[in-house]
């Protein structure tokens, strides 16, 4: 009897050790997002910082490129993505409102000045001139929120402009070629549009408090907390490195975005990078949700505080 009991204890110990070792997954699937000008993510990928951090545990890092926040959350729902290095909070809220649990792991940036409505025609001089015009941009993102906020501020309805859902690269091509009247663009796409003869009608500053965050699907956060903590740690350490190696970091971003160092520095300084969320960010999430519900983009409001993982807050 004692032998059986001892054997049971030994087996339990082995199982416990196995469970401890299983905390780290065999691989992590993370979305690489360089736009609008996500310097932390560009530095991490360029310097292979995640690969180095996971090397001792034998975890494979799979980078995926998905530029739309809505598509990122869809990939999370399908289980093909564990973490998005950068997602706008509008996409985060819409995902959770649709029953897709996506959570905030850490902060990234507040780049309101890098999001804009861009036009080419000289006849469009104000937001009111967008009435009846074709406006291209990614659906279910902070850029669509910017359009709706700009229209509302000028006493207009969402239906007053003809919104056409397109990714940022496609929207840039459409506005520069004249196939649409305006485009919802961000960062380097705005720079490239201006180089092609377009101009900024308005930025998001004063209209939408743009907040970019790192997100994780709830299943991954629950099942692999150590892996997620490693990713968050690397992201925060990269921001410290950027601040102490500014010129080197800017050069990495400029090369990745295909713009000049001067343009890259302008975008970086407008990005207002950060890492830990505050009560101000919670209020911003609540305000964003109120706007999305009132605009009928979000059908079911959620408790925004429940979307923030403990390690993301101060």
pLDDT digits (tens, 9 = 90+) for 66-112: 988 889 999 999 999 999 999 999 999 999 999 999 999 999 999 99
Q: Give the number of other CB atoms < 10 A from CB of residue 223.
A: 14
> Cβ neighbours of residue 116 under 8 Å, at least 6 residues apart?
146, 184, 185, 186, 190, 200, 201, 202, 203, 204
Architecture of the structural domain at 23-111+210-312 = 3-Layer(aba) Sandwich (3.40)
Phi-psi region of 95 (alpha: psi -120 to 50; beta: other; left: phi over 0): alpha
Query: Where do you find CATH 3.40.190.10 in the chain?
Result: 23-111+210-312, 113-203
pLDDT of residue 164: 98
- pTM for the whole thing? 0.84
pLDDT, tens digit, 9 for 90 and up, residues 213-244? 999 999 999 999 999 999 999 999 999 999 99
The DSSP result for 79-94, as a single string, is TS-SEEEEEEHHHHHH
pLDDT, tens digit, 9 for 90 and up, residues 154-168? 999 999 999 999 999
Beta bridge partners of 83: 30, 216
Measured CA to CA in angstroms, residue 25 lies from 29, 85, 98, 189 at distances of 10, 18, 27, 36
pLDDT of residue 163: 98
Rg of the chain over all Cα atoms, to the nearest angstrom = 22
- Please report which residue ranges of the chain form alpha helices under DSSP H: 2-21, 39-46, 49-54, 69-78, 89-97, 142-153, 168-177, 188-195, 218-223, 225-244, 246-257, 261-271, 279-294
The overall average pLDDT reported for the chain is: 92
Q: What's the pLDDT band for 12 if we cut at 50, 70, 90?
A: very low
d(CA 75, CA 16): 32
In CATH, what number does 113-203 get?
Answer: 3.40.190.10
């Amino acid at each position: 009897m004692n032998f059986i009991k001892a054997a049971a204890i030994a087996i339990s110990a082995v199982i416990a050790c196995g469970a401890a070792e299983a905390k780290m997954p065999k691989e992590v699937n993370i979305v690489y997002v360089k736009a609008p000008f996500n310097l932390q993510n560009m530095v991490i990928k360029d310097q292979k910082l995640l690969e180095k951090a996971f090397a001792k545990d034998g975890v494979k890092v799979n980078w995926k490129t998905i530029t739309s926040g809505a598509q990122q959350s869809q990939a999370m729902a399908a289980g093909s993505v564990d973490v998005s290095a950068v997602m706008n909070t509008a996409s985060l809220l819409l995902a959770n409102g649709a029953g897709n649990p996506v959570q905030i792991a850490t902060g990234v940036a507040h780049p309101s000045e890098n999001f804009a409505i861009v036009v080419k025609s000289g006849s469009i001089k104000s937001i009111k001139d967008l009435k009846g015009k074709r406006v291209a941009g990614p659906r279910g993102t902070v850029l669509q929120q910017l359009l709706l906020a700009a229209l509302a501020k000028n006493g207009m309805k969402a239906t007053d402009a003809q919104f056409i859902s397109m990714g940022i690269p496609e929207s840039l091509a459409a506005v520069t070629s004249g196939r649409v009247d305006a485009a919802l663009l961000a960062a380097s796409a705005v720079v490239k549009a201006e180089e092609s003869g377009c101009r900024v009608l308005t930025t998001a500053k004063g209209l939408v408090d743009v907040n970019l965050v790192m997100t994780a699907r709830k299943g991954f956060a629950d099942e692999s907390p150590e892996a997620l903590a490693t990713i968050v740690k690397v992201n925060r350490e990269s921001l410290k490195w950027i601040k102490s190696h500014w010129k080197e970091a800017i050069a990495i971003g400029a090369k990745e975005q295909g713009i000049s160092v001067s343009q890259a520095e302008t975008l970086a300084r407008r990005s207002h990078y950060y890492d830990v969320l505050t009560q101000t960010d919670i209020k911003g999430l609540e305000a964003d949700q109120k706007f999305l519900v009132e605009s009928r983009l979000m059908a079911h409001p959620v408790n925004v505080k429940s979307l923030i993982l403990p390690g993301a807050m101060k």
